[in-house]
């Protein structure tokens, strides 16, 4: 059996509450310190991607969310509206800016020669974005 000189693992911690993530990080650090002391193996934690968690009070009732929900229904879809999840939207939300996710498939086999795009879903999403932009942006008809 070969014992490598180094090893690593990743641990993905997420929460809607940034304080919970901080508490979990402290607990992980304590576990690593304990194992390191017990085994005499040097362990260290290196955060490599920190995405803020959070929620914006009143976001569910905001024009952005209620308009996006109504447009989804208009387009024949039943939207799933929730305050739970983790994505790049967390960056905006963590900074106090409302954000929504439209979801849907973009295709498959990304990065491979036989990659494909789900054109009908992309067209539906484009329609949604145009309608939402006009609605929230206050488009005027003359």
Q: Domain extents for the chain?
A: 1-50, 59-136
pLDDT value of position 72: 95
Q: Kindly list the distances between the CA atom of residue 102 and the CA atoms of 7, 12, 31, 78, 142, in Å, as whole numbers in the listed order.
A: 38, 23, 38, 12, 30
Distance of alpha carbon 130 from alpha carbon 4, whole angstroms: 54
Distance of alpha carbon 30 from alpha carbon 132, whole angstroms: 47
List % helix, strand, coil for the chain (3-state, nearest 5): 45, 5, 55
Note the pLDDT tens digit of each residue in 52-100: 777 888 999 999 999 999 999 999 989 999 887 777 788 888 888 889 9
| pTM beyond 0.85 | no
């Amino acid at each position: 059996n070969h014992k490598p000189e180094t090893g690593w693992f990743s641990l993905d911690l997420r929460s809607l509450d940034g304080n919970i993530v901080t508490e979990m990080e402290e607990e992980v650090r304590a576990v690593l310190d304990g194992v390191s002391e017990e085994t005499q193996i040097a362990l260290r934690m290196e955060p490599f991607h920190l995405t803020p968690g959070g929620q914006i009070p009143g976001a569910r009732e905001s024009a952005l969310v209620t308009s996006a929900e109504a447009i989804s229904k208009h387009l024949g879809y039943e939207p799933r509206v929730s305050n739970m999840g983790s994505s790049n939207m967390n960056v905006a939300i963590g900074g106090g800016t409302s954000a929504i996710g439209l979801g849907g498939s973009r295709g498959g086999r990304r990065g491979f020669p036989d990659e494909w795009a789900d054109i009908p879903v992309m067209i539906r999403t484009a329609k949604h974005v145009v309608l939402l932009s006009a609605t929230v942006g206050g488009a005027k008809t003359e």
